Chains A and B, each alone.
Chain A
Amino acid sequence: MKFIKQHISLIFPLIAILLGLEFFIVFDRTTDSFEKGLQEGYSMIVVSKDEMSIDDFRAWDSHIKQVKELEKSKILKRLNIDEDKEKHLKSSLPNFYSLKLDSYLTVDELESVKSNLQKSSNILSIETFQSAYQSKYELFSFIKFSFQTFIGFMTIIGFFLIVKQMEVWNFLHAQRMKVMEIFGASLFLRSKVLINMALIDAVISAIITSWLFYLFKNSWVQGSQMEILKENIDGVFKFSDIFILLFAAITVVLIAVFLVVINIKEE
Chain B
Amino acid sequence: MPNVITANNLTLGYENDEEIIKNATFSIKKGDFVFITGPSGSGKSTLLKSFYGNLAPSSGSLVVGGLDMVGINKKNLQELRTHLGIVFQDYKLINEWTVEKNVVLPLWISGYSTEVQETQAKRLLHHVKLSGKEHKYPLELSGGEQQRVGVARALAKNPFLILADEPTGNLDEYSSNVIWDLMENAYHQLETTVVVVTHRIPMVFNIPYRHFTIDENGSIYEVH
Contacts and interface: CB of A to CB of B under 8 A. Distances in A.
A82 B151 CA distance: 115
Contacts of B149: none
A36 to B, nearest CB: 55
Given A176-B97, A266-B54, A182 B92 contact: yes
A81 interface: no
A59 interface: no
Contacts of B78: 184-186
B144 interface: no
Contacts of B153: 183
A179 B92 contact: yes
A243 to B, nearest CB: 33
Interface stretch (B4-12, B19-27, B58-66, B79-87): B79-87
A189 B93 CA distance: 17
B105 interface: yes
Contacts of A64: none
Contacts of B95: 175
Contact of A175 (B77, B86, B94): B94
A180 interface: yes
B94 A182 contact: no
Nearest to A173: B96
A177 to B, nearest CB: 9
A183 B94 contact: no
Interface string B80-112: 111010100000111111000000011001100
A28 B15 CA distance: 53
Nearest to A172: B96
A191 to B, nearest CB: 13
Contacts of A182: 52, 54, 81, 86, 92
A253 to B, nearest CB: 20
Given A189-B109, A266-B54, A183 B97 contact: no
Q: Which of B77, B82, B109 has the most CB of A within 10 A?
A: B109
A18 B78 CA distance: 38
Interface residues of B, number: 21
Given A189-B109, A266-B54, A184 B93 contact: no
B54 A180 contact: no
A189 B77 CA distance: 15
A176 B138 CA distance: 13
A186 B109 CA distance: 8
Interface string A168-200: 000000011011101111100100000000000
A118 B117 CA distance: 86
A187 to B, nearest CB: 8
Contacts of B96: 176
A175 B97 CA distance: 12
B179 to A, nearest CB: 19
Nearest to B90: A267
B86 A180 contact: no
Contacts of A189: 109
A266 to B, nearest CB: 6
B207 to A, nearest CB: 25
B54 A185 contact: no
B54 A183 contact: no
B81 A183 contact: yes
6 contacts: A176-B94, A180-B94, A182-B86, A183-B86, A184-B79, A189-B109
Interface of A: 175-176, 178-180, 182-186, 189, 266-267
Given A182-B54, A183-B82, A184-B82, 15 more contacts: A176-B96, A176-B97, A178-B92, A179-B94, A180-B109, A182-B81, A182-B86, A183-B86, A183-B106, A183-B153, A184-B79, A184-B109, A184-B110, A186-B78, A266-B54
